Chain A
Amino acid sequence: DTGVSQNPRHKITKRGQNVTFRCDPISEHNRLYWYRQTLGQGPEFLTYFQNEAQLEKSRLLSDRFSAERPKGSFSTLEIQRTEQGDSAMYLCASSTGTVYYNEQFFGPGTRLTVL
């Protein structure tokens, strides 16, 4: 399977715990995006990488959130001291970034539930 993969698919945690999600993009894609989606809403942009450089972060991304893409391949999104409001679907997408309309392809998402 050469699509975007995300792990884990589901995560249940207690408030105050730290969680980390992983995204493996399509292999030739140099751009990687993170989004958050809550029930009844479309995905909201969190951050994106061009290779290993984090080029833009949303104001939604509080200081409890950090994302890395150390070698320009897979990426991790960490949430520290989780809160119930962090419960959502976290989506990763990748693109080549070489075409001006830059089509993004999404992974299956990680569903986070904070108790």
Chain B
Amino acid sequence: TQLLEQSPQFLSIQEGENLTVYCNSSSVFSSLQWYRQEPGEGPVLLVTVVTGGEVKKLKRLTFQFGDARKDSSLHITAAQPGDTGLYLCAGYMEYGNKLVFGAGTILRVKS
């Protein structure tokens, strides 16, 4: 079983639609990071959230860290074909030194 469960696993939407990707755990994380990965490339860091309840915005992307620091969400407004990719959440468990990753959400935005 994954320590971080991501949902949905796959999302195919039309350009202009909104979407939310979820990252859930029964464990507490000291911080959570969101990455985007293109096929054949390494993950690229989008954002880090560290405080329970924190909300960060990156253009059309909004990231939220749950109050209890056990979950996070990524909301994309007016998705564009360039948003297509694999979205990964990853976190440090309390007192941990290694990132634990979710299995990822594959997003496909059709024009």
Binding site for B on A (CB under 8 A): 4, 6, 33, 40-45, 48, 55-56, 91, 93, 100-109, 111
Which one of B44, B45, B101 contacts A42 once the chains associate, using CB atoms below 8 Å? B101
A-B contacts at CB below 8 angstroms, number: 66
User: What are 25 A-B pairs at a CB distance below 8 A?
Assistant: A40-B103, A42-B104, A43-B43, A43-B88, A43-B90, A48-B98, A91-B43, A100-B31, A101-B31, A101-B50, A101-B92, A102-B97, A103-B33, A103-B45, A103-B48, A104-B33, A104-B45, A106-B42, A106-B43, A107-B42, A108-B40, A108-B42, A109-B40, A109-B42, A111-B40
Q: Is the CB of B90 within 8 A of A100?
A: no
Which of B48, B90, B99 neighbours the largest number of chain A CB atoms within 10 Å of its CB?
B99
Assembly CA distance A106 to B100 (angstroms): 14
Q: Using an 8 Å CB-CB cutoff, how does the interface string of B51-82 with A read, 1 for contact, 0 for none?
A: 00000000000000000000000000000000
Q: In the complex where A100-B30, A101-B92, A102-B92 touch, is A42 in contact with B102 (Cβ < 8 A)?
A: yes
Q: In the complex where A42-B101, A43-B101, A56-B97 touch, is A101 in contact with B48 (Cβ < 8 A)?
A: yes
What's the least CB distance linking A95 to chain B, in Å?
Answer: 9
Assembly CA distance A6 to B42 (angstroms): 10
- Interface residues on chain B, number (Cβ under 8 Å): 25
Assembly CA distance A56 to B90 (angstroms): 18
Q: Is the CB of A45 within 8 A of B100?
A: yes
Assembly CA distance A42 to B90 (angstroms): 9
**A107 — which chain B residues lie within 8 A by C-beta?**
42
Assembly CA distance A100 to B104 (angstroms): 24
Which of A48, A55, A56, A102 neighbours the largest number of chain B CB atoms within 10 Å of its CB?
A102
What's the least CB distance linking A108 to chain B, in Å?
Answer: 5
Assembly CA distance A7 to B99 (angstroms): 23
Assembly CA distance A100 to B96 (angstroms): 10
Interface residues of B in 16-52 (CB under 8 A from A): 30-31, 33, 35, 40-45, 48, 50
